[in-house]
Chains A and B, each alone.
Chain A
Amino acid sequence: MAANWAERISAFSRSPTRFLSGTTAEAFLAELLRELRDDRASYSVKVLLLSPLCEHPTLLCPSDSVGEETALELMSVFAQCPPKLVGFRCHLLLALTSVLICTSCASGRSRASQDFLDLLLQIIQDPSDLHSDGSLRSICATACDCLRELEACCPGLLSQRLELLCGLRQQETSRLHQPYAALQTLVLRNAVYQLTQEKGAGAEHLKALLGGITSVAWEADQDSGLMNNKDSAILSSLILGPMGVVPTLQTGPDCKELRSVLSSLLEESYLLTPLCQAALLHRLTEVVAMVPGIPPAIFRAQLLRLLGTSEVCLLHATLLMKCAYTDSLFSAEDEAFILKRLVVLSQHPRLTAPEKLFYMDCILHFPENRPIDSGDDTLPVLLTPRLASALAPTVFNDSATLLSRFNLLSLVHLEEGEEAEEGQGLEYLYEHLTSLLYIVENRGSREIVVTFFRAVFLFLFYFHHVERYSTSLTEQLCKLYLHHTHLAPHLINLADQTQDRLSESNWAVGLLTALQKVITSLTQLSLKDLKWHLKMLGRVAEEGEIPQRNTLSFLSRVITPSFSSLCESGDWRQGNNVLGVCRRLLVHPSLDSLLIPLADILQHLARCYRDTDIQDHARLYYTLLTTLSREKLAGVMMQGATEGGREVKKRSLSSLMSEGEELTSLLTIHQTEKAIFRLTEAQSDPQQESKESDLHQDKVENCAEEANAALEAYRAQFSDPSFASEVTLKYQLAHTVGHDSRFDQLFSIRLHFSLTDNHYEKLHDISVPCLFRERPSPVVQLRLKPRQPYPTTLHASAIFTTQDGMSWHTAVPDIHVAFEQTFMPLPSPQTWGQGGKLGVFEGLWEEMCTEKEERAISLFCCQLEEAALNALVRKRFLPYLVSDPSHKDELKVLFFLPPQCHILLKIMSKEDAVHFNIATDNWQLLPHIGSYLLTITAAQEHPPS
């Protein structure tokens, strides 16, 4: 069993949704809790069982009430757990914290969360445990962590306990002082923030807060919690750099108490682990930023120690301090020192690569005392080319470091490029590219190749205007291509991206022209290279500016038998590559001058290429070229191309087949970005349905003995397994709100549904002929065949065609099938009257009262006025009513739920309340009917205004 649990828990954490589709969250949660209470299960397994609750509490506890119940369960497990099992108890505390916070029980100050808070406070204050045993200390530490998390998620929760926490920390001499300090600083920070939001709060309030005096005015606001009225601002870090505004608390210079708390925390900060120290410093930085009465100089004593540190998080906390206080704590010399320090750290041989990269990022976003502007990736003024030269990239760097350094140095020398073209830095960068190129030429790894092209892009991005280099780069890349034709995709990608990003530069066209030149002047070539050459020429042919005569003469040479064996080989892919170039030439602006040679090539392909498909396509292109006018040809070929152009590159088999995007777009199924339409439940009119049933109401025959006979006759119907096995739900198919005129008229819609659990049989697809935005929406009937009539969610998608002949695939918003949607009136024979139904009801009721097997009875009570009850019956129960509606003292309602479940209700108005006696032959339906009744009666109690 233990191994089984390990497997199941790991399956759950791998994919919770897939795991839960095989069961329900409810059932899984019940299983977990049962096992946790089971004395026979080992505690190592129990620790495992808590992980789904820690990691995905909202999946298992979808509502606050479930969360609340789960928390109560876990707390009782905690209470019964022997104190020795520290690990398990710690994990239990974590699970409780997760459940209470994520289900918002904690922010709602629910009963369970109050109890939990008391438990935690009790643990951290219990002096008997503290010094006896190291292991008990760890439960105390975990309790502190949980309190800190609760305070972090519900800011202000512990504001009233500041004095207590301060005292605990000060007394503590074991390592426990660290969790206390972390908790205290967070609570302090939130409490001070809270004060800044109070009008008129000042020194007195601050003093009261620290002294634990709770009678001050702002206490009234306590219960509402900050999260409710002040969105998430309090969760955010307050240190945002020069542009951020920090809320402040005006106290005047008199804040002795706060100052002494801060000093004591700072003095002992050295005793904390670097990670906790960094967090503490950051919190205190925020506090001091909020209280102008405390000068930032309070941190000064720590600064040297922090600036010399090898710990990345401590130096980072110091940088954030600089960001918050600028020149009120750091002089101009300090600033120069820190920047130099960052340059040193960015290349210090003793630090790891990720740390160095992080420091380099810190240089790019250096918090200057007097920033000139705060644009993205602007360098600090103090970073001179001289200083930055320490960060010059070398080929021995790993890719990430190399590119980061390359980018940084490019920024440093950006101005140099403009001022003096002979800049040495630029020279260095270009030579660095050359060194990389050299490695690529020597068959460098794929990683080097990718890095090289990224560096080239960066170089062009910053220096494309420096012609000396950009021209030389073109030459070098052409040479590289000739020796390594397989780099064609990289070169095409480079051309694409430089063209897109550097619209003012013509470099990409220059590169493509040069590549065309080197390819077309080749005197011999291998079939392997040819593939890449054709890809490249295809891309070249997309440029209207580039003359295509050379390309054409290259193509006609390639298909000549004396030059290559292409036509004889009949290679379909190669043929397609040739056609790909031709197709682009068909839409080239200089087509007029290319007409005859292009026609020759196409004709030759149509006649001689040893592949029928290629021949056919060549013939099609030939016909189009020779029979259509220029405009029409462009119209035919450009359709589709204009829609996406190069930007939308859909790699699909159909595009490979035709290499014609106008055909491709018709053959491809496109994906819509958003949902186009949705299914909404069609409102059926209960009145009308009940009238139908009235028609059969002939005579009343009410004999008890006949109940059994009726039941038998009723049951006999189920010998046909398909009898009453389906629920039919009606939905309207309608456009969603967003307006996209392409989708106003849709045709041949095919809806596909998939299940999210195992409670229903698979659904068939549904076809809808058309959907027009301006016409009434069609009604779709969904036939659900339940295995278990539980509420469920269906995923849906659809394929449809638009007016222009394109096919689309779209996601349809999920369909939620509520429990009551599976209700059906009793499927009694048509000829039966009220009496027969009543007979069945009585017969079933009697059986169910025996509570055997799956049967169960239950009672639901609520307070409803008579009028409200009547309205409820009229609105909800009429189709299912088997007793005479005029007999108000006891109403009998029967819900039939396919495949063969029944829920029977006897509704009676008693003095104090309305009683719903419930009987069912499937006890697992009880929670659903319970929550259904709760919802509908609550709605009746508080009708929507």
Chain B
Amino acid sequence: MALLEVEDLRVSFATPDGQLDAVRGLSFTVESGKTLGIVGESGSGKSVSTQAIMGLVRGARISGSALFDGNDLLTMDSEALRKIRGAEIGMIFQDPLSSLHPYYRVGWQIIEMIRAHDSSIAKDTARTRAVELLRLVGIPQAENRVDDFPHQFSGGMRQRAMIAMAMALNPKLLIADEPTTALDVTVQAQVLEVMKRLQEEFGTAIIMITHDLGVIAEVADDVVVMYAGAVMEEGARDTIFYDAHHPYAEGLLLSLPGYGTRERLVPIAGQPPSLISLPEGCPFRPRCPYAFDRCTETPPLLDVGDKDDHGSACWLPADRKARAGMRHQPATKRPVAKRAAKK
């Protein structure tokens, strides 16, 4: 049994302009001790879906199921869910400065986490553990810095502290929502390193949410590519990187610096669709360089390629050559040199 099985998750908000469907039938599974990467442009529903599972989204209509260790997180009572939050599923977020309470010391916040789930733990035991955790995530002089306020930490240290807090109770699953997006490139690598080390040490499963395929390449075992609140493609990491089927996944790969040759650095043209009254058909159609008549019909997640865990919500043929011939323009339409000359 997988650690987390999300099935047909739907989340919608009532907005003044009408119902906004942020997540539209999302399914994925996370295996114990493994890392699932969820990748997609901003607004594709990555945060809303994971926070909905954790009961952190307010004022939304939520349906589907999310079985964690066999129990449905979406239907259990709020007290049971509260006990799982933090203790069995830890979370870290994009902006570590705003995610830590500005008025409380870093150590206090970690101690609070520890004692929230077991008030029998003495304060100084919890404090010793907090220092230990800070040392574990690589905070220098942890025994002094434990009494600092978040604003006295650097960006990378804050995210390390968030990780220390999320890992304090040795959860089975860590949900990391764009944990490196707000950080400098060098710091990003260090934070990912810390997460990988802790995962090996404690056997934690991780959901790594990002819009950056570079991060996915670093840490993910399996990948879900999300667009407009639904899965476009899923598969093992190498399958997605070397044998992507869906034009959206291909677009993301082409916009990745250092992927393929230099000339191929092309952002996906156009904007994500509005999630209010999305029309029938493939949601990527308006931006898709392959779109053809069948695409007005919504494609389900179809088996593609020779790997049986490889699925793609696209009508294109599985055969790479046949697919290439259906592209309206070549992928290298705008080489870097030409773009630079225009500026």
A binds B: no
Residues of A within 8 A of B (CB): none
